[in-house]
Structure 1
């Protein structure tokens, strides 16, 4: 069962900009595209570069360390050196709050 955690307010995330947050200890990056909010892991799958510091254009983020590119809507790798897709998270809006779904911790 997915657990949802408050990540930010809708007004915090600007169209065309990346917004880093920490959700239950996980580094997550939020992006707004055409007024829809997407959430993905903030670490590049190549060697964990901070994606929130990279270039963001359209729906593509470019890692600032080695130039890997990803579609933030799907997490798909668009250009290497990364070979593994980004983990994306379900987003739920309640009122003015953004909630991110994380799988339960397995103990």
Structure 2
């Protein structure tokens, strides 16, 4: 494991997210209740900036095509908000993929993420 400090616990309030850069990669950090979650900041659908998306509980909605992911494990809740033929073609061209998540641990007031 390769844990890296990406923030301190006083930097995020419940229900908030922020983007940080680690070794050239954009990493999303979110706080929900007393838990912290971390994932890739770019949506696996079309690369939307997830830190500017909407967070409801652990469900993260991409601002670009409204793809939704659960931050607890990255699974896809909704691939896009498209419907009908457009959705079918879209899934053929780019099949649903989960959001990559990272393990988070707290050490005193430091938020550490396993970026490997």
When normalised by structure 1's length, the TM-score is: 0.90
Q: How many residues align?
A: 102
User: 1:65 — aligned with what?
Assistant: 64
1:24 CA drift (Å): 2.1
What's 1:88 paired with? 101
Q: Spell out structure 1 runs of 4+ moving beyond 2 A.
A: none
The structure richer in helix per residue is 2
Larger strand proportion of the pair: 1
5+ residue gaps, structure 2, are 81-94
Deviations 1:1-46 (A, max 9, x none): x211110011111110111111222111111112110101100000
Show structure 1 runs of 5+ residues with no match. none
Aligned-CA RMSD value: 1.1
Larger Rg: 2
